[in-house]
Every structure is written in structure tokens, then in C-alpha cells.
């Protein structure tokens, strides 16, 4: 996948197109892979179903009627488990066997080993791009919570920007998106993207986290537009459709920006038990985000 550079002005033009609800023109559609396909795929985080960095997550996803799994890299002192080619091979074989996909990858370890301060993480992020290519996916979630939080951390943010500048050309060449998931606002995310200056750096948008942080998530989605590479579906208060996240409004915002792709469940409330709650949430999401539109 070959990228073209996008200026800050072009980003805002794209967002303006989305907010206005215009039919997406060629210029508004020319950036990124988000419009490939006509509908949505529903996946789940492997840690949500208790199968972190475990190929058995794919069989469980199939049993739950899902399309795929977001796979975490796991944690380690020097090397991360998913960087092992033998483990990658097991995932590839399991995906074929169960007819499900690896939706994306996640560097959850960055919450405890911060990208903004630990030198090991530069190599891990670089290696994650190679793993993406090997496993046939193109999104890596970079987590910035816990010890990695960027709120009110100007120095840490500057380090993150400089490190992303160094790794972004490799991601661009590979056709891989590095998705920042954090407590930051849409405007703060756009500032980081602008400063890095690479279309390979995007936002991994978690609707519940942003809602919990006090942001208007429906307007944020429209503002970020094509800068969103993938979504987490989550509700801190109840099963989907019963809590505080209006997923129908999320869908309308996605329609405005032309997003079609993965909706990855990161379940929090499991009042019916794990598998039954997952099935309930998946069925609800299928009704709002169908595979064909």
C-alpha cells in the first residue's frame, strides 16, 4: 500500500466533509483503506475472552460467531511473545482452520513499559510492523494508559513524537498503521499526527474510554475522520445498547466519515457470564453494524 502525504489543512478538509455529511468525493476518499469493503466485521480483544496471546482465542471467536480477534503481543523483559515466528505460525494455522481473521495487533504492554520513556519499546514497535506483515493484518494498537499516559506530559509527548517520526517510514513502506489509543482528546491526537507528519500514524478510537474522559465522542469521530484506523466497542455501564454509549449515533458518525471495517469488542460488563454476554453484545452490534450495508 502506497501512501500520499497529507497536510494539516487536508486533514481538516476531510473532517469538514464528514461533519457536513457530504457524499464523500474522490479527494475525501483517496486516503487510507477505511472504505474497502461494504460493511463491518465484528471482532473481540483476546484479553477480553481470557485468551491473551493465545491462538485458542481464534477457536473461541468462531464459537462466539465473530469474524476475528485482536491479538495482544504479550509482555516480556526483552522480547515479546508474539514476535516469535513459531507462535505467529500457530495463529496463521488457527485462522485458516477456524475461518476467522486476525483483525489487528495490540501493544498493551506499553501501558506498563511506556513508549515515552523505555528504550526497549522502540524496537518492539518496529518489530510489530514486521509481525503485522507476517500475520496478514495492517493495524497495531499502541496503548498509552497507566504508566504510559500522555495527559499533561509535554516532555513525554515530545519523546513519543520523535520516536514515531523514526519508525513511521518503515510503517508507511509496509502499509501498516500505528494506532494511538489514549485518554487524549481528538484535537490532541490530531496535533501529534500533524507533528509526526506521517499517514501511517493514526488514532485507535475507543468510544467508551473517550466518553469516560468527557469528550463528545460522536463529534470527535467526525473531527478525526480518516485519522481513525479502527474502533473498540465498549460500554463501562452495561451490555451494549443498554448503557451510556449510543451505538446508533456512533454508526451515524462512522457513516459521515465513510468508515467501514473492524469493530472490536472490549467487553467490560458481563452480567450474563462471559460467553453469553459476548453473544448478546455481538448480536446487538451486528444489528447496528451489519456485514453488508
pLDDT in tens, 152-204: 999 999 999 999 999 999 999 999 999 999 999 999 999 999 999 999 999 99
Instruction: Return d(Cα 11, Cα 171) in angstroms, integer.
Output: 19
Q: What is residue 1's predicted lDDT score, i.e. its pLDDT?
A: 41
- H/E run at residue 141: strand 139-144
Instruction: Return d(Cα 283, Cα 2) in angstroms, integer.
Output: 36
Q: What CATH number matches the domain at 8-288, 3.90.1150.10, 3.55.40.20, 3.90.1580.10, 3.20.20.150?
A: 3.20.20.150
Whether the CB-CB separation of 153 and 116 falls below 8 Å is answered with yes
- How far CA 215 is from CA of 27, 64, 186, in Å, comes to 28, 32, 9
- How far CA 57 is from CA of 44, 66, 230, 244, in Å, comes to 9, 11, 20, 28
Return the closest-CA partner of residue 101 out of 124, 132, 143, 142: 132
Instruction: Return d(Cα 105, Cα 191) in angstroms, integer.
Output: 24
Q: What is residue 150's predicted lDDT score, i.e. its pLDDT?
A: 98
Q: Tens of pLDDT along 165-175?
A: 999 999 999 99
SS3 content of the chain, % helix, strand, coil (to 5): 50, 15, 35
The count of residues in the chain is 293
* Phi, psi angle pair for 51, to nearest 5°: -130, 45
Whether the CB-CB separation of 134 and 168 falls below 8 Å is answered with no
Whether the CB-CB separation of 217 and 207 falls below 8 Å is answered with yes
**What is the CB-side half-sphere exposure of residue 235 using CA atoms within 13 A?**
21
- H/E run at residue 72: strand 68-72
Scanning 77-153, the segments in alpha helix (DSSP H) are: 85-98, 120-135
Low-confidence ranges of the chain (pLDDT < 70): 1-37
- Per-domain residue ranges for the chain? 8-288
Amino acid at each position: 500500500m502506497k501512501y500520499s502525504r497529507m497536510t494539516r489543512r487536508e486533514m481538516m478538509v476531510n473532517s469538514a466533509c464528514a461533519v457536513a455529511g457530504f457524499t464523500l468525493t474522490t479527494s475525501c476518499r483517496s486516503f487510507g483503506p477505511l472504505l474497502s469493503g461494504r460493511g463491518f466485521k465484528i471482532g473481540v480483544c483476546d484479553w477480553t475472552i481470557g485468551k491473551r496471546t493465545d491462538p485458542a482465542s481464534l477457536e473461541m471467536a468462531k464459537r462466539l460467531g465473530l469474524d476475528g480477534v485482536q491479538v495482544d503481543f504479550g509482555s516480556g523483559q526483552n522480547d515479546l511473545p508474539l514476535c516469535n515466528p513459531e507462535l505467529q505460525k500457530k495463529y496463521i494455522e488457527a485462522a485458516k482452520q477456524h475461518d476467522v481473521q486476525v483483525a489487528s495487533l495490540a501493544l498493551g504492554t506499553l501501558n506498563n513499559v511506556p513508549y515515552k520513556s523505555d528504550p526497549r519499546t522502540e524496537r518492539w514497535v518496529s518489530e510489530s510492523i514486521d509481525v503485522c506483515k507476517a500475520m496478514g493484518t495492517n493495524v497495531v494498537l499502541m496503548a498509552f494508559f497507566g504508566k504510559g499516559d500522555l495527559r499533561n506530559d509535554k516532555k513525554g509527548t515530545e519523546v513519543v513524537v520523535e520516536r514515531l517520526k523514526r519508525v513511521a517510514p518503515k510503517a508507511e513502506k509496509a502499509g501498516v498503521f500505528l494506532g494511538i489509543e489514549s485518554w487524549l482528546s481528538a484535537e490532541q491526537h490530531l496535533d501529534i499526527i500533524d507533528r509526526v507528519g506521517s499517514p501511517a500514524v493514526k488514532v485507535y478510537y475507543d468510544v467508551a474510554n473517550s466518553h469516560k474522559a468527557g469528550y463528545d465522542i460522536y463529534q470527535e469521530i467526525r473531527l478525526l475522520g480518516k485519522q481513525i484506523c479502527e474502533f473498540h466497542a465498549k460500554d463501562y455501564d452495561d451490555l451494549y445498547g443498554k448503557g451510556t454509549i449510543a451505538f446508533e449515533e456512533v454508526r451515524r458518525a462512522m457513516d459521515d466519515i465513510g468508515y467501514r471495517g473492524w469493530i472490536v469488542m472490549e467487553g467490560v460488563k458481563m452480567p450474563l457470564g462471559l460467553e453469553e454476554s459476548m453473544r448478546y453484545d455481538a448480536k446487538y452490534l451486528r444489528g447496528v453494524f451489519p456485514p453488508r450495508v
